[in-house]
Amino acid sequence: MRSFFGLFTNHPASVGESYFEHMAMSFGFSMRMFGGCIACLLHGLLPFLFVRTGSDQIRILHDRMVAHRDRRVPRIDGDLSGVR
C-alpha cells in the first residue's frame, strides 16, 4: 500500500510540495496555459490581437515552474549554487 501512496506523493515531494499544493499549482498552470492557448489561436486568426500574450504566458510559466522551483528545492545532482 505504501508504494501506491508514493505514486501520488513522490513527484510532489521532489519539488517541495504536498499532494494538494502540487494539485493547486498544476491547476493554476493549466488555467494560464488554457488562456494562453486561446490567445494564441485568436492571434493566429487576427494577428493584431494578443501580440505578446503567448510569449508573456510562457515567460510567466517558466518563472513559476522552473526558476521559482530552483530557488525552493536544492538540486539533487549536488549543485548547491542556487541555494541560499
Question: What's the pLDDT score for residue 58?
Answer: 93
Determine, yes or no, domain membership for 12.
no
Question: Does residue 7 have a pLDDT over 70?
Answer: yes
Give the ranges where the chain is alpha helix by DSSP (H). 2-14, 19-45, 53-62, 68-72
- Tell me the per-residue pLDDT of 39-69, one tens digit each, with 9 for 90 and over: 999 999 999 999 999 999 999 999 888 876 6
DSSP 34-46: HHHHHHHHHHHHS
Determine, yes or no, domain membership for 53.
yes
Enter the pTM of the model. Answer: 0.67
- Tell me the per-residue pLDDT of 23-38, one tens digit each, with 9 for 90 and over: 999 999 999 999 999 9
Query: Residue 60 belongs to what domain range?
Result: 25-75
Total count of domains within the chain: 1
